[in-house]
Structure 1
Amino acid sequence: MQSYRITRAAQLLGVSDDTVRRWIDQGLLPVTDAVPAEIPGDALAARTLALAAERDAADEGHSSARNRFTGIVTRVQIDGLMAQVDIQAGPHRVVSLMSAEAARELRLDVGSLATASIKATHVVVETPKG
Structure 2
Amino acid sequence: MVAIRIKEAAALLGVSDDTVRRWIGAGALTATSAEGATTVDGAELAALAADRARDPGGDDDRVLTSARNRFTGLVTDVEMDGVMAKVGLQCGPFTVTSLMSAEAARELGLEPGVIASAVVKATTVIVERDAHR
Amino acid at match of 1:37: T
In structure 2, the partner of 1:27 is: 27
Structure 1 residue 54 corresponds to structure 2 residue 80: no
| TM-superposition CA deviations, 1:27-46 (whole Å, max 9, x none) | 21123464312112111110
Q: After TM superposition, give the deviation of residue 106 of structure 1 in Å.
A: 1.3
In structure 2, the partner of 1:92 is: 94
Structure 2: 5+ residue stretches without partners? 124-133
In structure 1, the partner of 2:78 is: 76
Q: After TM superposition, give the deviation of residue 93 of structure 1 in Å.
A: 0.7
In structure 1, the partner of 2:126 is: none
Task: Report the count of equivalent residues.
Answer: 121
Q: After TM superposition, give the deviation of residue 22 of structure 1 in Å.
A: 2.3
TM-score normalised according to structure 2 size: 0.79
- CA gap of 1:57–1:106, structure 2 versus 1, over 3 A, is closer
Looking at structure 2, the residues matched to 19 and 112 of structure 1 have their Cα atoms a distance apart, in angstroms, of 22
CA RMSD of aligned residues (A): 2.0
Identity level (%):
55
| TM-superposition CA deviations, 1:95-114 (whole Å, max 9, x none) | 00011111111121122211
TM-score normalised according to structure 1 size: 0.81
Amino acid at match of 1:39: V
Q: After TM superposition, give the deviation of residue 48 of structure 1 in Å.
A: 0.6
